[in-house]
Amino acid sequence: MTADMLIFFIFVLSIFLGFELISKVPSMLHTPLMSGTNAIHGIILLGGMLVLASAEGFIQHVAGFIAVVLGSANVFGGFMVTDRMLQMFKRKK
């Protein structure tokens, strides 16, 4: 198996694993869980950028680009959800 195929296999496996893990979380915990894991999403985004910087083949470039786009969407979405959640606890004037 070539390195490109191994990276693609890991990418597809991570998609299925992520879907299974997220689908097991009760809907009541999604917002606190998302706001609490922004630091982890930042690390994932950094890892995607490092993979993209050291990519050699086309498949690695595509996988790295997808990782950076989805990781940044996770980070920014998590901060937006956290901000909306904190707005609920502010006192009204």
What is the chain's mean pLDDT, rounded? 81
pLDDT of residue 7: 85
AA letter at 62: V
Residue 72 belongs to a domain: yes
**Domain containing 62: what range?**
56-93
Q: Any idea what the Cα angle at residue 19 is, between residues 13 and 25, rounded to 5°?
A: 140
Residue 11 belongs to a domain: no
Residue 89 belongs to a domain: yes
pTM of the prediction?
Answer: 0.57
Residue 49 belongs to a domain: no
pLDDT of residue 13: 93
As a three-state string, the secondary structure of 22-69 is HHCCCHHHHHHHHHHCHHHHHHHHHHHHHHHHCCCCHHHHHHHHHHHH
- What is the number of structural domains in the chain? 1
